[in-house]
């Protein structure tokens, strides 16, 4: 009666309402709007029909793809689908276009909404189909059919694919099959594939193997070879290679010559060089940087605290003082015996730190610092592990000695160095007594050459220079990193020397280039587009050894085309070349560094674990896996061993001092006897952490003809295998294993970030050593000083290590410093227990007077020291390790410490101890 309301909604969700319309007219108008809207929707759909049908066809192909649906291939399709969905498909009205059209657009809309699920399904379908399709190829491409994991790694073709290839898992077979598959399947032409290896011989072997297996001529190249080719293409010719580029000795000699020339120019640079040698050649750590004597002594043993005059001193601050005296022409003696005889005090002869020869003045350097108290007063304190009261009493005693004998004593203190005035303060104190006669810079340098300190420093400079160039660092980068790492004045002093050396080195290159220039220049040409890359697949062998500069080149080549794939094969468990620039973080963060992007997700990549080893039996394979995975940062991998051991496969053989050759011969004789006469000789690989460990190989080969024996350093053994492996000198110590030769902290300015886990890289070196063995691994370790790795292997049942009964030495801690007490045979043929820090601690104990072999030790909760043989002794009241034995003196018999004269602990003989064993005073 009142009319009809007609409401029309626009695409912006706004409403237009007409009220009071005639009902019939409104109904007709509504129907015409619907017809018009339907025509409009269908017209819009028809306008994009070709575009829609192309996208739809590609989306439908994802259900059964003909090629691996890599992110870089599917991402453009997703962009197109979402753009069409946003501009048209999402706006179409289902009622307007009808059910057929709705069904037509549904796959595209679903893909736009759920692309990851559809791509994942497409990958699964393709992989299953492709593995079946190429079964015969995978069965015959190598001498043995490929494993399921190897086949999977070949058909997977993500933007970036990382193949985890453990020791002996057949990584070369995978790279060979991958290259052949890409060409045979018509995915790439040979010239579109770049095969990269690190060593020339590895590249040559790979090229030959690919062509022999597949008939496809794909040339594998080293990183340097492809870089050199890129430079030649861009520049029109290849620049000459510097002569020293392939000769490490020539390179070091060049650095030495540059240093010498800079010194003899007598410039500010020469002064900086001398300052570094005199005061910063070693790491400037003092006892204040350590919590225990053991840690301090361990540090000292890694340093050569040798003065410019040639003697070895006991602390960094003493080194500074000695070198300042030498620089300024002040003749001195280090630790001379004091000129006056001191009355018997039970102490050793008094030896002041320095005596100045011309003036007769003595210098004592005291390890004390000043501490501010709450009431504003100050007191002197000592390092954390030093008894303050005893040390201060010693200071007073020394002052008293000089006062009594009227000798002049100059005192210096640790707090003066802390306040930056140790040497200026020394100069002021000596001014009334000494005339300084500074030595010429070139004279000091000649002395440095005499001491052979230039050799090691030149190697350090050379290593730093190569890392500096290959990493693309600047001096500003190094200064910033030095501040972050708090390396202080030493880093600044080093960079003051390095900067002019580097500048001069670059000048002397002239128009030639070195290997570092090659990689960086090639990467720059690829990044800027001056080099046009033909490569669509980049296959990299031994990927765990890649450095930042090599990674930069790979990334630059990948970035040239949207569909380039990186296929990397490696084993982070075998990353052992950090000293040469390899950066394990590039492998651990593979997706972030080389992956693609899809549906807003970055770092898209695929990882395939080859999982099994064709080399080691189960006991070796599982023990090696357990050992390397103690570091939680290592990528976990499954291991399927090559076979099952029927007898213990890993043995630890303990070696007494001087028995290395005898024990090695015994092990070889045992292996030789086990080889049947009709069999071919068994292969034996002797491994050493260092080259100097190599035994007399001609003699061993002559004596054991049933064995084919070779020697390699562990680093040089990568890729090799043998029936039996013998690891030599698995001892603790500076050149032991794990090695305690620490890289100079200065190298951290141009190195990948260090790993937090202790001995992380050395642990991987051990893994490499263990996994060279097919059937047995024998580890020769010192009975007195086994390495921490050997101790770990023996103590943890998880490793299943076989050790001869009684071979586990009893560990004794040194009560004086916390180090280890080691059994040694004295000149008198008797066994003594001496602290491992023999140069610093001096703790020496005899064996039990009753049994003559064991070391008596304190019994907790008692005042007794007891031996395993049952003998017991009263504990020494003065020291941690000693015990009291009967001695005779001018006033009769008494109990004295076995550590006399280092310790003067005494006690009266009680009636219950009248018959106690007497001391054997062999020293």
Task: Report the C-alpha gap between 867 and 602 in whole angstroms.
Answer: 66
Task: Report the C-alpha gap between 803 and 814 in whole angstroms.
Answer: 26
Task: Report the C-alpha gap between 825 and 72 in whole angstroms.
Answer: 70
Radius of gyration of the chain (CA): 38
Average pLDDT of the residues in 697-717: 93
Task: Report the C-alpha gap between 28 and 25 in whole angstroms.
Answer: 5
Residue 543 banded pLDDT, cuts 50, 70, 90? very high
Q: Is 637 annotated as a binding residue?
A: no
CA 5 to chain centre: 81
Residue 405, Cβ neighbours under 10 Å: how many?
12
Q: What is the pLDDT of residue 804?
A: 55
Residue 467 banded pLDDT, cuts 50, 70, 90? confident
Q: Which of 556-570, 685-699, 790-804 has the lowest mean pLDDT?
A: 790-804
Q: What is the DSSP secondary structure assignment for residue 41, as one 8-state letter? A: H
Q: What is the pLDDT of residues 348-395, one digit of tens each?
A: 789 999 999 999 999 999 999 999 998 889 999 999 999 999 999 999
Q: Is 168 annotated as a binding residue?
A: yes
Q: Is the pLDDT of residue 479 over 70?
A: yes
The average confidence (pLDDT) of the chain is 88
Q: What is the pLDDT of residue 607?
A: 94
Q: What are residue 581's phi and psi, to 5 degrees?
A: 105, -5
Specify whether the CB–CB gap between 436 and 329 falls below 8 A: yes
Specify whether the CB–CB gap between 18 and 32 falls below 8 A: no
Residue 737's nearest CA partner among 673, 787, 672, 698 is 787
Q: Is the pLDDT of residue 911 over 70?
A: no
- Alpha-carbon torsion angle 33, 38, 43, 48, nearest 10: 130
Residue of 38 and 899 predicted with greater confidence = 899
Q: Is the pLDDT of residue 806 over 60?
A: no
Q: Is the pLDDT of residue 808 over 70?
A: no
Q: What is the DSSP secondary structure assignment for residue 626, as one 8-state letter? A: H
Question: Of 21-35, 353-367, 653-667, 895-909, which one has max mean pLDDT?
Answer: 353-367
Edge-first strand order for the sheet with 884-889 is 884-889, 892-897, 906-907
Q: What is the pLDDT of residue 346?
A: 58
Q: What is the pLDDT of residue 613?
A: 67
Residue 28, Cβ neighbours under 10 Å: how many?
11
Q: What is the pLDDT of residue 454?
A: 86
Residue 554 banded pLDDT, cuts 50, 70, 90? very high
Average pLDDT of the residues in 608-612: 83
Strands (E), 173-282: 193-197, 220-222
Q: What is the pLDDT of residue 909?
A: 81
Q: Percent of the chain, pLDDT > 90?
A: 49
Average pLDDT of the residues in 843-872: 87
What tokens does 244 get? 């020293």
**Omega into 901 within 30° of 0, i.e. cis?**
yes
Q: Is the pLDDT of residue 917 over 50?
A: no
Residue 163, Cβ neighbours under 10 Å: how many?
27
Average pLDDT of the residues in 145-172: 90
Q: What is the pLDDT of residue 344?
A: 66
Give me the half-sphere count of Cα atoms (radius 13 Å) on the Cβ side of residue 758.
4
Residue of 345 and 80 predicted with greater confidence = 80
- Alpha-carbon torsion angle 265, 267, 270, 275, nearest 10: 160
Q: Which of 100-104, 121-125, 211-215, 855-859 has the lowest mean pLDDT?
A: 211-215
Q: What is the pLDDT of residue 484?
A: 87
What tokens does 307 get? 């003065």
Residue 59 banded pLDDT, cuts 50, 70, 90? very high
Q: What is the pLDDT of residues 418-432, one digit of tens each?
A: 998 999 999 999 999
Residue 73's nearest CA partner among 86, 54, 58 is 58
Q: What is the DSSP secondary structure assignment for residue 25, as one 8-state letter? A: H
Average pLDDT of the residues in 51-58: 92
Question: Of 64-78, 289-303, 650-664, 802-816, which one has max mean pLDDT?
Answer: 64-78
Q: What is the pLDDT of residue 584?
A: 81
E strand or H helix at 602, and its extent? strand 601-604
Task: Report the C-alpha gap between 99 and 136 in whole angstroms.
Answer: 46
Q: Is the pLDDT of residue 802 over 90?
A: no
Task: Report the C-alpha gap between 750 and 26 in whole angstroms.
Answer: 82
Which residue carries 């492809």 as its tokens?
226
Question: Of 310-319, 485-494, 555-564, 777-786, which one has max mean pLDDT?
Answer: 555-564
Q: Is 169 annotated as a binding residue?
A: yes
Task: Report the C-alpha gap between 633 and 766 in whole angstroms.
Answer: 16
Residue 186, Cβ neighbours under 10 Å: how many?
8
Q: What is the pLDDT of residue 742?
A: 60
- Alpha-carbon torsion angle 710, 577, 474, 560, nearest 10: 110
C-alpha triplet 174, 179, 184: angle, nearest 5°: 120
E strand or H helix at 430, and its extent? helix 422-430
Average pLDDT of the residues in 121-142: 95
Q: What is the pLDDT of residue 681?
A: 92
Q: What is the DSSP secondary structure assignment for residue 18, as one 8-state letter? A: E
Q: Which of 54-58, 480-484, 706-710, 749-753 has the lowest mean pLDDT?
A: 749-753
Q: End-to-end CA distance of the chain: give it in Å, rounded.
A: 131
Q: What is the pLDDT of residue 916?
A: 46
Average pLDDT of the residues in 399-406: 95
- For strands 354-356 and 906-907, give the pairing: unpaired
Q: Which of 210-219, 488-497, 663-672, 798-807 has the lowest mean pLDDT?
A: 798-807
Q: What is the pLDDT of residue 11?
A: 65
Average pLDDT of the residues in 448-454: 85
Q: Is the pLDDT of residue 922 over 50?
A: no
Specify whether the CB–CB gap between 649 and 617 falls below 8 A: yes
Q: Is 166 annotated as a binding residue?
A: yes
Q: Percent of the chain, pLDDT > 70?
A: 95
Residue 921 banded pLDDT, cuts 50, 70, 90? very low
**Helix count and strand count (H, E) for the chain:** 30, 31
Q: Is the pLDDT of residue 169 over 80?
A: no
Average pLDDT of the residues in 436-440: 93
**Omega into 396 within 30° of 0, i.e. cis?**
no
Q: What is the pLDDT of residue 583?
A: 82
Specify whether the CB–CB gap between 177 and 142 falls below 8 A: yes
Q: What is the pLDDT of residues 481-538, one digit of tens each?
A: 998 888 888 899 999 999 999 999 999 998 899 988 999 999 999 999 999 999 999 9
The answer to whether the Cα torsion of 685, 688, 692, 696 is positive or negative is negative
Q: Is the pLDDT of residue 325 over 80?
A: yes
The answer to whether the Cα torsion of 802, 804, 805, 806 is positive or negative is negative
Q: Is 663 annotated as a binding residue?
A: no
Task: Report the C-alpha gap between 182 and 153 in whole angstroms.
Answer: 12
Burial tier of 117 (Cβ tally within 10 Å: 0-12, 13-18, 19+): exposed
Q: Is 170 annotated as a binding residue?
A: yes
Residue 482's nearest CA partner among 851, 811, 749 is 749
């Amino acid at each position: 009666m009142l009319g009809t309301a007609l409401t029309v909604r626009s695409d912006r969700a706004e409403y237009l309402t007409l009220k009071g319309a005639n009902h019939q007219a409104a109904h007709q108008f509504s129907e015409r709007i619907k017809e018009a809207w339907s025509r409009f929707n269908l017209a819009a759909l028809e306008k994009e029909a070709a575009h829609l049908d192309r996208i739809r066809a590609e989306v439908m192909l994802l259900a059964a793809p003909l090629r691996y649906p890599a992110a870089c291939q599917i991402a453009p399709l997703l962009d197109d689908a979402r753009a069409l969905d946003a501009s048209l498909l999402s706006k179409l009205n289902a009622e307007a276009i009808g059910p057929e059209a709705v069904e037509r657009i549904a796959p595209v809309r679903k893909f736009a909404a759920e692309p990851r699920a559809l791509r994942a399904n497409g990958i699964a379908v393709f992989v299953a189909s492709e593995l079946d399709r190429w079964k015969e190829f995978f069965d015959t491409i190598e001498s043995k059919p490929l494993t399921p994991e190897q086949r999977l790694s070949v058909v997977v073709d993500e933007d970036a694919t990382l193949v985890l290839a453990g020791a002996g898992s057949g990584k070369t077979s995978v790279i060979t099959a991958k290259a052949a598959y890409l060409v045979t399947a018509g995915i790439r032409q040979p010239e579109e594939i770049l095969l990269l290896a690190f060593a020339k011989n590895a590249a040559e072997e790979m090229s030959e193997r690919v062509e022999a297996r597949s008939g496809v001529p794909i040339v594998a190249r080293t990183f340097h070879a492809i870089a050199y080719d890129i430079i030649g293409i861009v520049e029109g010719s290849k620049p000459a290679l510097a002569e020293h580029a392939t000769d490490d000795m020539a390179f070091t000699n060049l650095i030495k010559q540059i240093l010498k020339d800079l010194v003899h120019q007598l410039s500010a640079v020469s002064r900086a060089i001398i300052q570094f040698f005199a005061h910063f050649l070693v790491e400037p750590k003092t006892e204040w940087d350590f919590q225990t004597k053991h840690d301090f002594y361990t540090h000292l043993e890694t340093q050569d605290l040798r003065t410019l005059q040639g003697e070895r001193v006991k602390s960094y601050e003493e080194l500074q003082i000695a070198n300042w005296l030498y620089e300024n022409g002040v003749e001195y003696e280090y630790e001379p015996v004091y000129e006056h005889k001191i009355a018997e005090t039970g102490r050793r002869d008094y030896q002041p730190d320095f005596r100045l020869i011309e003036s007769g003045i003595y210098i004592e350097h005291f390890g004390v610092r000043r501490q501010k108290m709450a009431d504003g007063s100050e007191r002197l304190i000592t390092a954390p592990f030093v008894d303050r009261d005893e040390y201060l009493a010693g200071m007073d005693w020394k002052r008293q000695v000089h006062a009594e004998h009227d000798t002049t004593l100059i005192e210096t203190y640790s707090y003066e160095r802390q306040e930056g005035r140790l040497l200026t303060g020394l100069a002021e104190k000596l001014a009334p007594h000494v005339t300084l006669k500074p030595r010429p810079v070139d004279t000091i340098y000649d002395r440095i050459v005499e001491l052979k300190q230039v050799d090691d420093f030149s190697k350090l400079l050379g290593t730093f220079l190569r890392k500096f160039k290959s990493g693309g660092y600047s001096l500003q980068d190094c200064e910033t990193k030095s501040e972050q790492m708090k390396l202080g004045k030493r880093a600044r002093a080093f960079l003051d020397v390095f900067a002019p050396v580097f500048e001069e080195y670059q000048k002397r290159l002239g128009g030639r280039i070195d290997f570092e220039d090659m990689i960086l220049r090639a990467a720059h040409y690829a990044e800027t587009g001056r080099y046009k890359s033909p490569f669509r697949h980049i296959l990299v062998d031994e990927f765990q050894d890649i450095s930042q500069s090599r990674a930069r080149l790979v990334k630059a080549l990948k970035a040239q085309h949207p569909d380039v794939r990186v296929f990397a094969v490696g084993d982070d468990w075998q990353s052992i070349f950090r000293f040469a620039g390899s950066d394990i973080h590039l492998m651990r963060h593979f997706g972030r560094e080389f992956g693609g992007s899809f549906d807003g997700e970055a770092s898209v990549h695929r990882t395939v674990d080859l999982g099994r080893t064709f080399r080691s039996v189960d006991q070796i394979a599982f023990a090696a896996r357990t050992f390397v995975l103690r570091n939680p940062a290592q990528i976990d991998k499954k291991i399927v061993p090559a076979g099952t051991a029927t007898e213990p496969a890993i043995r630890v053989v303990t070696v007494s001092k001087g028995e290395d050759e005898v024990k090695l011969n015994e092990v070889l004789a045992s292996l030789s006897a086990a080889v049947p006469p009709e069999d071919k000789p068994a292969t034996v690989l002797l491994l050493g952490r260092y080259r100097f460990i190599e035994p007399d190989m001609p003699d061993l080969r002559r004596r054991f003809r049933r064995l084919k024996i070779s020697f390699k350093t562990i680093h040089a053994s990568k890729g090799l295998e043998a029936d039996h492996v013998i690891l030599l000198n698995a001892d603790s110590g500076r050149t032991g294993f794990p090695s305690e030769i620490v890289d100079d902290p200065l190298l951290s300015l141009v190195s990948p970030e260090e790993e937090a886990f202790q001995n992380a890289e050395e642990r991987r070196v051990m893994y490499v050593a263990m996994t060279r063995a097919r059937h047995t691994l024998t580890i020769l370790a010192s009975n007195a000083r086994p390495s921490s790795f050997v101790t770990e292997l023996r103590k943890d049942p998880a490793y299943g290590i076989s050790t001869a009964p009684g071979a586990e030495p009893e560990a004794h801690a040194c009560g004086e410093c916390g180090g280890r007490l080691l059994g040694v045979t004295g000149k008198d043929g008797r066994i003594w227990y001496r602290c491992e820090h023999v140069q610093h601690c001096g703790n020496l104990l005899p064996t039990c007077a009753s049994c003559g072999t064991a070391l008596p030790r304190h019994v907790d909760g008692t005042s007794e020291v007891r031996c395993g043989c049952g003998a017991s002794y009263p504990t020494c009241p003065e020291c941690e390790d000693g015990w009291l034995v009967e001695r005779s003196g001018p006033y009769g018999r008494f109990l004295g410490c076995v550590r006399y004269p280092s310790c003067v602990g005494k006690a009266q003989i009680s009636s219950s101890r009248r018959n106690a064993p007497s001391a054997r005073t062999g020293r």
